[in-house]
Amino acid sequence: AHTFGRARCVNFRDHLNESNIDPAFAATLRPSCSNSSADDNNLANLDVSTPNAFDNAYYRNLLNRRGLLHSDQELFNGGAADAIVRTYSTSPTAFFTDFGNAMIKMGNISPLTGTSGQIRLNCRR
């Protein structure tokens, strides 16, 4: 969940001109994220409402078409995940419970180690 953290302009610039973003929100981001590559490393908060809190405001932002990244806004864009976004936006308890359970599940994953494992020097590939 992108309930806190930041993203570089180069990762959300194209989304600012898409139809599934609130035009007023996009307008607030454009001054620091122009089409110039000089702005590529400028940062914006993933959660514009409560950027330093672990809460469910991120999901309320999605309802208002204020997802910073294209992939974030796809969670609430007329698809199967819309119902989950609506639930999390109105129920912090549901979000916290599901998030906690997901972290436990991820913690129980047994990674490959030794010669069976793989160390990626570049995680983007």
Residue numbers in the known binding site for heme b are 2
Rounded to whole angstroms, the Cα distance separating 94 from 110 reads 27
Please give the annotated binding residues for Ca(2+), written as ranges. 3, 47, 50, 55
The DSSP annotation for 31-54 comes to GGS-SSGGGTT-EEESSSSSTTS-
Amino acid (1-letter code) at residue 75: L
Please give the annotated binding residues, written as ranges. 2-3, 47, 50, 55
Amino acid (1-letter code) at residue 50: T
The residue with tokens 């912090």 is: 92
Tally the residues of the chain.
125
Amino acid (1-letter code) at residue 91: S
